[in-house]
C-alpha cells in the first residue's frame, strides 16, 4: 500500500519524466531512481516503461521534424541484441540485484559521459582549428566518433541499459552530442529512437510480468503530473545552452546512481 509520501514522490518523478522527454533527458535517471526506491525495483521498470511511452508520444509530436533518420537507421538494428540480453538479466535477477543493476547502469552512463567529454577536450586541443561551415562540422564529428564508439556498440549498450533500467538516455545523449547534434536535433532523434525502442520493449516486459493491470492504473494516475512536466520542458528546451545541457545530464545521472547504490 502506497503512502501519501509515496504518491508525492511518484508524482514528482512522473513530472521529471515528462520534463526529460521534452527537455533534459538526464532528468529521467533521477525519476527512475525514485521509482526503484518507492516500488519494488523489478516492478518499477514496468511502471516507468508505460510512462516513458506516454512521454515519447509527446516528444515525437513536438520534435518529429528535427530527427536525423540516417543516424536512427544505423542505431536501431543493434538495439535488439541488447534488449534480449537485458530481458534475460531481468528474468534471473532478484530485487536487490535489480536495484543494484539499475544503479550500476546509471553510474556506467555517467562515467561514459565523463570519459567522452575528456576525450573530446583532448581531441579539440590536438586538432588544428580550421574554419568550417555550420553544416560541415557535425559530419566531421560523426566521422571522428566512428573510431571511438561504433553505432553497433552504442545500440547494444543502449538496448541492455533500457531493458534493465530504462537508463539508455545518457549513452544516447552523449553519442548524439559527440556527433555535434544541436539540442533540438538531439531531442527529435532521441524522441523517435526511444519511442520505437520502448515500444519494442513492451512484449519483453509483458512476458516478464512487469506490466499488469495494477501497473497501468498506477501510471494512469501519474499521467497528469507527467503532462505538466512535459509542458514546462517544452518551454525551456530551446533556451538550454549545449554546455548546460551536458552538465545537467551528468549531475542528475550520477545522483540517481548514488541513490540506488548507497
Mean predicted confidence (pLDDT) in 14-34: 84
pLDDT tens digits for 54-72? Answer: 999 999 998 888 888 888 8
Distances (CA, A) of 173 to 49, 94, 99, 191: 18, 29, 23, 11
Q: What is the count of structural domains for the chain?
A: 1
Mean predicted confidence (pLDDT) in 38-62: 89
Q: Which three cell numbers stand for residue 255?
A: 545522483
Q: Which three cell numbers stand for residue 183?
A: 539540442
The pLDDT assigned to 100 comes to 74
Helix 151-165 to helix 79-92 angle, to the nearest 10 degrees?
30
pLDDT at 83 over 80: yes
Q: Are 65 and 188 in contact (CB under 8 A)?
A: yes
Cα 234 from chain centre:
17
**Does 42 or 222 have the greater pLDDT score?**
222
DSSP string, 110-152: HHHHHHHHHHHHHHHHHSPP----TTHHHHHHHHHHHTTS-HH
Domain extent, residue 244, equals 4-261
Half-sphere exposure of 53 (CA within 13 A, CB side): 16
Ranges 8-22, 61-75, 120-134, 163-177, most confident: 8-22
- Angle of CA points 246, 147, 86, to nearest 5°: 65
Whose grid coordinates read 548524439? Answer: 176
The pLDDT assigned to 197 comes to 87
The pLDDT assigned to 149 comes to 47
Cα 184 from Cα 207, distance rounded (Å): 35
Could you tell me which of 50, 23, 36 has the C-alpha nearest to residue 169? 23
pLDDT tens digits for 226-254? Answer: 999 999 988 887 677 767 766 776 777 67
Cα 123 from Cα 178, distance rounded (Å): 11
The pLDDT assigned to 109 comes to 67
Cα 214 from chain centre:
25
Q: What is the pTM of this model?
A: 0.72
The pLDDT assigned to 216 comes to 92
pLDDT tens digits for 89-141? Answer: 878 877 677 667 767 766 776 776 677 667 666 666 665 554 444 444 444 44
Amino acid at each position: 500500500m502506497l503512502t501519501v509520501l509515496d504518491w508525492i514522490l511518484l508524482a514528482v518523478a512522473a513530472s521529471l519524466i515528462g520534463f526529460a522527454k521534452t527537455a533534459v533527458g538526464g532528468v529521467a535517471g533521477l525519476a527512475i531512481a525514485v521509482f526503484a526506491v518507492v516500488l519494488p525495483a523489478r516492478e518499477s521498470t514496468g511502471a516507468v516503461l508505460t510512462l516513458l511511452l506516454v512521454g515519447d508520444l509527446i516528444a515525437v509530436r513536438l520534435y518529429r521534424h528535427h530527427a536525423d533518420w540516417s543516424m536512427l537507421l544505423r542505431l536501431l538494428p543493434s538495439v535488439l541484441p541488447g534488449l534480449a540480453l537485458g530481458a534475460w538479466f531481468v528474468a534471473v535477477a532478484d530485487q536487490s540485484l535489480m536495484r543494484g543493476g539499475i544503479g550500476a547502469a546509471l553510474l556506467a552512463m555517467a562515467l561514459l559521459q565523463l570519459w567522452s567529454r575528456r576525450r573530446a577536450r583532448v581531441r579539440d586541443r590536438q586538432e588544428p582549428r580550421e574554419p568550417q561551415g555550420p553544416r560541415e562540422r557535425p559530419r566531421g564529428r560523426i566521422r571522428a566518433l566512428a573510431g571511438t564508439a561504433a553505432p553497433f556498440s552504442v545500440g547494444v549498450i543502449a538496448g541492455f541499459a533500457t531493458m534493465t533500467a530504462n537508463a539508455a538516455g545518457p549513452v544516447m545523449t552523449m553519442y548524439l552530442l559527440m556527433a555535434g547534434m544541436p539540442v533540438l536535433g538531439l531531442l527529435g532523434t532521441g524522441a523517435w529512437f526511444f519511442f520505437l525502442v520502448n515500444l519494442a520493449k513492451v512484449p519483453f516486459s509483458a512476458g516478464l510480468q512487469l506490466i499488469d493491470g495494477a501497473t497501468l492504473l498506477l501510471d494512469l494516475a501519474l499521467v497528469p503530473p507527467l503532462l505538466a512536466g512535459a509542458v514546462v520542458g517544452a518551454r525551456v528546451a530551446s533556451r538550454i545552452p549545449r554546455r548546460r545541457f551536458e552538465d545537467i545530464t551528468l549531475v542528475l545521472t550520477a545522483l540517481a546512481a548514488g541513490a540506488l547504490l548507497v
